[in-house]
Structure 1
Amino acid sequence: MDPPETLEALQIRHRKEQRDLQARITQKKKSASKKTRKGVNDECATLESELKERHSQELAALNSENGFAATDEAPVEGDPEEEAQKDPETTTNGIAESLQNTSISSPTLESADSPASNEPRKKPNRAKARLARRAAEQDALAAQAAAEAASMPDLREQERINMRGYFSKYELQEKEIRADGHCLYSAVADQMDQAGLGLEPRIQPTIADKQLDGVSDAEKKLPTYKLVRYAAADYIEQNPDQFAGFMEEPLEEYLRKIRETGEWGGHLELTALARQYGIQINVLQANGTVEEITPAEDSTATGDDKKVIWLGYYHHNFGLGEHYNSLRKAA
């Protein structure tokens, strides 16, 4: 013979039966049509009444066995989380009344004199809990990212240290060039001036700046980087077959950016300048590589006949990104 059911086990079973009934009623009402709605409502009310009556009888029987009066029966409490998730449109007043009427206080679980027994239980604020959990996850990710960043090498400092080492090797000293988009052209102009090569290109620049219309010859002197820009653009314009295959935009637009904007220069422009001025451009990088850009017809020149200028190329050290400095011969 099975042992008698305890009060706690009875309460647990009653709560489960109440939840099961609620699920059945919800399903019935969702499936009901306008014609069957009244019959379904009546059936649901009958099921609620029968469950309420049966629970009351079972509680009374158990309390009589344990020596408690019917008025001292223990409460049958609903699950707050599941109550919060119920659909308000399908929750009937009958079920709520049934749950309330079957809740009977028990001296074995909670004192009748306790103020908390008369206060409704607060439902947990699930939205606030989600926000707090999300904020904690974001803080943890931020802390992890900061820790990873702290453990990573300082690429800018490493690049600077490496470049200094190669300056000594090649007997060079650095002339800082402003990082304004014109750095390649300014560095070439500085190198040409230091080497006494001048800025006279093989192809005379065609300066078609409309802003100079009506300005006297004395006032037409342009910044040296501007002259170098025009020298590169003019060489590319007159030798399009050597460069057009490497461009991602029409030739005219490419040339306009070289002449009229602060667009950065790169390998194409260095190649054009090497051929325009008949010089070799050595580009020193932080890994020790020296890229030699030679004019096609002068590539075999040696000794005193070889005109060479030096640029330092940086990938990490400046805010705008890639950058060129002038590398002069050490005194």
Structure 2
Amino acid sequence: MEDSQSEQQRVMRRHHREKKELQTRIQAMKNSVPKSDKKRRKQLLLDVARLKAELEQKHQQELEKFRESFPDDNNLDSITEDLAKMDLENQPPRQSRAQRRREKRATLERERQERIAEAEMEHLASFRREEEEKLAAILGSKNLELKDIPADGHCMYRAIQDQLVFSVTVESLRSRTADYMRKHVDDFLPFFTDPDSSDAYSREEFLSYCDEIVRSPSWGGQLELRALSHVLQTPIEVIQADSPAVVIGEEYTRKPLTLVYLHYACNLGEHYNSVRPLEASAVGGAAPRLF
């Protein structure tokens, strides 16, 4: 029993610390985006909601796993409830009136933040539904439907892989992309800046970025697509819900590879999917279902 209580306290203290760290991170994110920049503020709300939801889900899964580890301990729920009410900063046994007021304000603020998070998640779900409906209409007009690609950091390369008529691995696509970018530094380097400082990349930083393309499941974007269009000598069409389709590598005459870029597809944020011909039974009927 003592072991389970000690472990429970450790978990709850860590959860408390992680929530405070997230609040600090969120405040910094909000301070970095001007209130006048409505587009970035909108994306900020989505990012904040996603981060809060991910942390809440992580904590819930850890508590459930903890309960599974101590299935015979009937006091765990009461311990969890008691710990959740504790101030984990070693306060004295008796609280002053000022401390009680601070706790009440903190509780009210926490409840307000929870309501904001719920509203932000509802907005995110609404944006996602709207994006799906628009893409379904766009793809339907082309007799295409969405083909789901795993959201694992390799989605852009996997979507390209799915479109090709020959066999190639994701690792090969990443390696060939990085090689092309290294050989054409002057074509790509001017477009790379540090996301925090906005300073231009040095040549060494750019080459390190190319190494990460190969070594890690780093997310690919338009510059990597530009490199791939040259590697494959094939145009790449990127369909979006709220913008005209972008064609990269128009100088090539082959049939374009077609990708779909989604802003709100998953909790990870932006995502690439592939497409496939619309099933004959769906042509002329209802809008295609998104997978």
Name the TM tier (shorter chain): 0.5 to 0.7
One-letter amino acid of the structure 1 residue matched with residue 258 of structure 2: W
Give the Cα separation in 2 of the matches to 1:280 and 1:152: 35
Residue 281 of structure 1 contacts residue 310 of structure 1 at CA under 8 Å; is this kept in 2? yes
Q: Which residue of 2 aligns with 1:267?
A: 222
1:262 corresponds to which letter in structure 2? P
Cα contact 1:283–1:312 (8 A) shared by 2 = yes
Amino acid at match of 2:157: Y
Residue of structure 2 in register with 1:238 after alignment = 183
TM-score by length of 2: 0.53
Amino acid at match of 2:169: T
Residue of structure 2 in register with 1:309 after alignment? 257
Q: Which amino acid aligns with 1:126?
A: R
Root-mean-square deviation (Å): 2.7
* Aligned partner of 1:182 among 131, 142, 154: 154
Question: Cα offset for 1:126?
Answer: 3.0
Aligned residue identity for 1:161: E
Q: How does 1:108-257 map to 2 (within 5 A)?
A: 126-127=97-98, 130-131=101-102, 133-135=104-106, 137-138=108-109, 141-142=112-113, 145=116, 148-149=119-120, 152=123, 154-193=126-165, 198=166, 224-248=169-193, 249=201, 250=204, 251-257=206-212
Which runs of 5 or more structure 2 residues have no equivalent in the other structure?
Answer: 1-95, 194-200, 280-291
Distance in 2 separating the partners of 1:147 and 1:260? 37
Look at both structures and tell me which one has the larger radius of gyration over its CA atoms.
1
Q: Kindly indicate whether residue 257 of structure 2 is the aligned counterpart of residue 285 of structure 1.
A: no
Structure 1 counterpart of 2:170, one-letter code:
Y
Measure the CA separation in 1 of the matches of 2:218 and 2:107.
44
Q: Give the aligned partner of residue 323 of structure 1.
A: 271
Deviation of 1:171 (Å): 1.4
| CA distance 1:284–1:135, change in 2 (3 Å) | same
Aligned-pair CA distance for 1:149: 4.2
Q: How many residues align?
A: 174
CA separation of 1:312/1:127 partners in 2, compared to 1, >3 Å: closer, same or farther?
same
Matched to 2:225, the amino acid is L
8 A Cα contact 1:271 1:295, kept in partner = no
Of structures 1 and 2, the one scoring higher in RCO (CA 8 A, sep 6+) is 2
- Which amino acid counterpart does residue 215 of structure 2 have in structure 1? E
Cα deviation, residue 152, structure 1: 3.9
Pick closer, same or farther for the CA change 1:167–1:134 going to 2, 3 Å: same
Structure holding more helix per residue: 2
TM-score (norm 1): 0.47
* Aligned-partner Cα distance in 2 for 1:147–1:186: 33
The C-alpha deviation readout for 1:192-239, integer Å capped at 9, x for no partner, is 13xxxx36xxxxxxxxxxxxxxxxxxxxxxx71111111211211222
Q: C-alpha deviations, 1:160-217, integer Å up to 9, x for none?
A: 2221111101211222111111111111011013xxxx36xxxxxxxxxxxxxxxxxx
Counterparts in 2 of 1:129 and 1:244: CA distance versus 1, 3 Å: closer
Offset, 1:127? 2.9
Aligned sequence identity (%): 32
Tell me how far apart the structure 2 counterparts of residues 284 and 126 of structure 1 sit (CA, whole Å): 59
Take 2:174 and 2:219, find their aligned partners in 1: how far apart are those partners?
A: 10
SS in 2 for 1:243: helix
Contact 1:280 1:295 in 2 (8 A): yes
Alignment partner, residue 62 of structure 1: none
1:163 and 1:140 map into 2 onto residues whose CA distance is 36
Q: CA deviation at 1:143?
A: 6.9
- Following the alignment from structure 1 to structure 2, what is the Cα–Cα distance between the partners of residues 322 and 236? 23
Amino acid at match of 1:155: F
From the superposition, tell whether residues 325 and 294 of structure 1 become closer, same or farther in structure 2 (CA, over 3 Å).
same
Note closer, same or farther for the CA distance 1:242–1:136 as it changes in structure 2 (3 Å cut).
Answer: closer
Structure 2 CA distance, aligned partners of 1:289 and 1:147?
Answer: 32
C-alpha separation in 1, matches of 2:248 and 2:230? 9
